[in-house]
Structure 1
């Protein structure tokens, strides 16, 4: 069905099954945006327009979608039959799948703990971990897979600090994160579906035991603080165990894969632009803006979705209550109406931070400040330590449709520069 749809040019089928779109979504987004601000496919609507996407992310006429909630009836039956009833980032009570009042309650509780001061402490941990990982790589004089050795390890350390993961369990959490990465995707094969479920179920089993342990012996991690704040009534009724598991699961789903992708995408992009690396070395104050431009140009999250609450219209097109609209965030991030010469990689772009890679409105990413810190510290520390790093092969992209990043990225490190403070 998808192959036939691709041949017919259906926007939905091309999005799911066209290998050229998977390899490079930018030309596809340009082609679709030229057709109008909103495009109607066989089963849904899509927009690649920045203004439309930004408005829908903030509109009260639309809500977040949930897994299987907008499938045709026969496919919904299949989804119901295969639903394990367990944890999933696109099923309530996940923050990604609920609206107020539940969303307000969860977000208020997390915000009470995930403060500016907490992010600053985590940034120090990012710096420490980056230094340790790079120290261990200094003796490598051949080709290394930087995703495996660095990009994946850095966010796992941060997530472990947030969730209070014992050191002995970190490799297990890394495996759960990698298996569950395609959980946001559409069009999974049965083999992929089973792997995703294996990762999610494994993490949920581990998390159930871990929450019991934290209630008995709380640590100084943020999850222990969330439990304490919840029990103290910081957001009204205390969170149930399923709600706590959903919050922790979202930390893994949103905090792991997206940051791995940001670091991998950034390293690959900068290796291809030695002029930018020269500028950043001379003007390190540009690193925060460089990270914004990397997020804009190669967004770790390609798409989001919203469902119409009522009969309405978007950019003049009628939309019925219950209809699904796909927001192609990566396409919106290259809208020439907002970003001059949008395909150019410009670390000094004045409005780079206007990208939609962290979503918007009430569902704006709670971890955006931490993700930015991981990107800035992770990338700057790597290139400060290995200024002569070079690509050593094509690498391979992750087999995901919603998230975009590298699964392998071979590089030659070159001679290490002495770490600051050593």
Structure 2
């Protein structure tokens, strides 16, 4: 009886403890740091406020290739970001319990629930495990496979646009930007049409899971959503095992590297990440791109005259307003980057959006230019071993999705009420009302 009561008490206390250690405490530290002008603290807080971060990017850049802060290091230098992301002296940053009291409490309160920012997720795994996962996924997620999806993606975009009433205002996040990528990735992964709305809702609700410093309410929503997603994914994988099809997940279930496949936990972590990342970042790419082009009619005129620039336009959208703001790395051994010594255990924030505005790489970096010759030099999909597996799919969907809507509705204009997400890592719109014209 006493043991059962202790277990029940632990079930209530552990979530509070997880939130306190992983979110409440870091949020308090970041807020204090931001008030003192600390650059990493400012980035963490200002990124959630819908403010223009260009000035902050320049403040960081003015401190040299790597700015040292009370929290760690931060950089908006394009060259430095690439150095860090491709170096084996740095690994994907994730919360690791220490040996002190907080570490012991973190271990006690930890959950075995799958999380995109915890192993065996591809986002934070490192070699040799990461190498094995990536080989298996790459084998069934090739550029050729993506190219074969081009016509189907065009058909889906046309069907969605056919359903829109040009005489009525519409929120494109709900009616187009979300539905196009979730339909494509669902077909890739063998998700039946009747379950796609569930997948979209689960993905949207879990989007803040990559952030640090969540409120208690958001934290609880994320945990319950990840649990629901885990249950749904288990059922879906069981269905595919019983009835395998010509889809990525069926192939991933059967895939073997040197005779070894993925364990159930590895399979679910990989499949869940591919599913969520396969549409969440593309939703942002489409929304950000539509907003940018609607606000730059001169660039739309250029595209009307030179339609061959649509592919490059996607690269410029990714450079100018990327779907992912930043990524963190942990230094695993004392090293030197661009003349700056970084000690083992230090956290380094690589600001992808800031690197995309580096004037040493891009002329007039604050200008949106669909004909920019080196737009593809952005780092919006990261670099090195963690370069985004779905980059080619996202670019293809972005090109077709943006071209299709502006060719169908060339007079599209933004309406009041557009609102960006408050998430810190993923950057995009939550609402995007437009008049189609």
| TM-score class normalised by the smaller sequence | over 0.9
Q: CA 1:72 to 1:184, structure 2 compared with 1: closer, same or farther past 3 Å?
A: farther
Match of 1:55 in 2: 83
Q: Is the 8 A contact 1:270 1:277 kept in 2?
A: yes
SS of residue in 1 equivalent to 2:214: coil
Quick one: distance in 1 between partners of 2:345 and 2:201?
A: 36
Q: 1:324 aligns with which of 336, 342, 347?
A: 347
Q: 1:333 aligns with which of 356, 364, 370?
A: 356
Quick one: distance in 2 between partners of 1:313 and 1:369?
A: 33
Match of 1:130 in 2: 157
Match of 2:132 in 1: 105
Q: Is the 8 A contact 1:265 1:405 kept in 2?
A: yes
1:8-157 equivalent positions in 2, closer than 5 A: 8-18=36-46, 22-66=50-94, 68-69=95-96, 76=103, 79-137=106-164, 139-157=165-183
SS of residue in 2 equivalent to 1:14: helix
Match of 2:194 in 1: 168
- For normalisation by structure 2, the TM-score amounts to 0.90
Match of 2:32 in 1: 4
Judge which range, 396-405 or 30-39, deviates more: 30-39
Quick one: distance in 1 between partners of 2:429 and 2:161?
A: 19
Where structure 1 has 5 or more consecutive residues not aligned to the other structure, the ranges are 415-422
Q: 2:282 aligns with which of 255, 259, 274?
A: 259
Q: 1:207 aligns with which of 217, 230, 233?
A: 233
Q: CA 1:77 to 1:190, structure 2 compared with 1: closer, same or farther past 3 Å?
A: farther
Q: CA 1:366 to 1:3, structure 2 compared with 1: closer, same or farther past 3 Å?
A: closer
Q: CA 1:3 to 1:307, structure 2 compared with 1: closer, same or farther past 3 Å?
A: closer
Match of 2:13 in 1: none
- Spell out, residue by residue over 1:45-65, the C-alpha distance to the aligned partner (whole angstroms, 9 max, x if none): 111111110111111211112
- For normalisation by structure 1, the TM-score amounts to 0.93
Match of 1:368 in 2: 391
Q: CA 1:178 to 1:74, structure 2 compared with 1: closer, same or farther past 3 Å?
A: farther
> Aligned-pair RMSD on alpha carbons?
1.8
SS of residue in 1 equivalent to 2:149: helix
Quick one: distance in 2 between partners of 1:341 and 1:71?
A: 45
Quick one: distance in 2 between partners of 1:46 and 1:74?
A: 28
Distance apart, 1:4 and its partner CA: 3.5
Quick one: distance in 1 between partners of 2:215 and 2:376?
A: 36
Quick one: distance in 1 between partners of 2:68 and 2:348?
A: 9
1:174-193 equivalent positions in 2, closer than 5 A: 174-193=200-219
Aligned length: 409
Q: Is the 8 A contact 1:70 1:322 kept in 2?
A: no
Distance apart, 1:12 and its partner CA: 2.2
